[in-house]
Homo-oligomer: A and B are copies of this chain.
Amino acid sequence: MPRARRWLGFGSVVGVTVPGRHLPEATIARLPRYLRALTELAEGDVATVSSESLAEMTALNAAKVRKDLSYLGTLGTRGSGYDVAILLGRIRAELGLTREWPVAIVGLGNLGRALALYGGLPARGFKVVALFDQDPDKWGEKVGGIAVSPATDLADIVSSSGVEIGVVATPASAAQGVADRLVGAGVTAILNFAPLSLSVPEGVALRHVDLSTELQILSFYQHQRSRHRPPVL
C-alpha cells in the first residue's frame, strides 16, 4: 500500500520566521478552540493570559496548551503568560484566517439552509458565495441573500467564483456525485454532512460531521452506564 505521508511541512524557506514546524494534527484541531477563547478574552479587553486559565476556558490542561502553543513559536513570557492580541494574531495566521474564504454549499434541505443562514460563518471569515440544489423548485430562491443555482452549474460557478471549500449537505445518495463534481471544479477541501464516507482523491482535505454518529457514540456511553460502571468522557 502506498500510504502517502501526511504533512511533511518543515521550517522556513530562507530566513522567514516560521518557527517549529510540523504541527501535530491534534494540535491543529485544537487551534480553533484557542482562537475562540482568545477572541472572548480580547473582547473583554484582557491583555494577557496564562496557560492555566486558557486551559480552563478550553477544557484542556495547561501542559497541553503550552505544548500546542510552543509549536507556533516562542510566544509566551515566562512569569506573566501570553499576550492575548499577539497570540490571537499568530493563531489566525496559522489557520489562514487573515483572508476571506469563499464557500459553496450543496444541498438546500433543512440542514443546508441552516448552514447558509448561520451567522457564525461570516463572523469567522467564511463567506457563502454559492448555493446549489438539484430541485428545480428551489432554483432562484434566495437563502441568506444568495440565489440557489442548479447543481449542474456547479463547475462553472465554483471555478469562476474561486471557491476552494465546499460543503456537502445533500442526502447520502447524492453526496459522492456532488463531491466528485466539487473536486472536478477545483475544490480542494470538503466538509461533508451526508451520512456516508466520501472518497476523494489524495490531496483533497476532507472532514465529516455526522449527527447520527455522534448520537450513537453517546448512546454507547449511556448503554455502558446502564450495564456496568458509570463512564465519563
Are B216 and A209 in contact (CB-based, < 8 A)? Answer: no
Residues of B close to A111: CB separation below 8 A = 114, 118
A59 at the interface (CB under 8 A from B): yes
**Segment at the interface with B among A73-81, A152-160, A187-195:** A187-195
Are B215 and A124 in contact (CB-based, < 8 A)? Answer: yes
> For chain A residues 4-56, which have a beta carbon within 8 Å of chain B?
4, 6-10, 25, 28-29, 31-33, 35-37
**Segment at the interface with B among A129-137, A177-185, A199-207:** A199-207
Cα distance, A25 to B13, chains bound together (Å): 39
Q: How large is the interface on A (under 10, 10 to 19, 20 to 34, 35 or more residues)?
A: 35 or more
Query: How many copies of the chain does the oligomer comprise?
Result: 2
Are B191 and A214 in contact (CB-based, < 8 A)? Answer: yes
Are B117 and A32 in contact (CB-based, < 8 A)? Answer: no
Cα distance, A226 to B184, chains bound together (Å): 19
Residues of B close to A95: CB separation below 8 A = 216-217, 219-220, 223
- Identify 9 residue pairs between A and B in the complex whose beta-carbon atoms are under 8 Å apart, listed by A's number: A7-B232, A29-B217, A35-B216, A57-B197, A115-B211, A126-B215, A191-B218, A207-B233, A209-B214
Q: Could you tell me which A residues sit within 8 Å of B by CB distance?
A: 1, 4, 6-10, 25, 28-29, 31-33, 35-37, 57-59, 61, 94-97, 101, 103, 109-111, 113-115, 117-118, 120-121, 124-126, 164-165, 188-191, 195-199, 202-207, 209-226, 228-233
Which 10 A-B pairs give the minimum distances between C-beta atoms?
Answer: A96-B223, A110-B114, A189-B218, A32-B213, A205-B221, A114-B114, A59-B197, A32-B216, A205-B233, A111-B114
